[in-house]
Amino acid sequence: QVQLVESGGGLVQPGGSLRLSCTGSGNTLSLYIMSWYRRAPGKERELVASTTNTDGSTNYADSVKGRFTISRDNAKNTVYLQMNSLKPEDTAVYYCQAMRPYYQSWGQGTQVTVSS
C-alpha cells in the first residue's frame, strides 16, 4: 500500500533541534492518519505525535507538548517532526506510522540521540 522511510535522525546536544522526515511511496500520505512513535532503550513504545487526514488536527504526548510539531507537505508526500529544546530523555528510535481503517504501515525507524 504505502512504504515509509524516515530520515533526519542523529546526534544533537541538549537544547538543540532536529527535524525528522517521513517520506511515503506507493500512495499519498494525505489518505492516512500519520503518527510518530518512539521507543527508548528499556521502555515501552510511546506515541509522540499524530495528525489526522481530515481536518489536520494534531495530538502530542504531554512530554513533548510545546517542543515538537508534526506537519505535512503533501506536495512532497512527506510528514515532518520538528523537535526543539531536545532533552536527553528524548533519546530513542523514532518511527513513522501511516494508518487507515484495517491498515497500518511503519517505517524502519531513525535514531535520535540527545547528549552532550
- For residue 15, how many other CB atoms are within 10 A of its CB? 11
What's the CA gap between 16 and 31, in Å, rounded? 32
Residue 106 — very low, low, confident or very high, per pLDDT cuts 50/70/90? very high
pLDDT score recorded for residue 64: 98
pLDDT score recorded for residue 76: 98
Q: What is the mean pLDDT of residues 59-64?
A: 98
pLDDT score recorded for residue 66: 98
Residue 87 — very low, low, confident or very high, per pLDDT cuts 50/70/90? very high
What's the CA gap between 16 and 18, in Å, rounded? 7
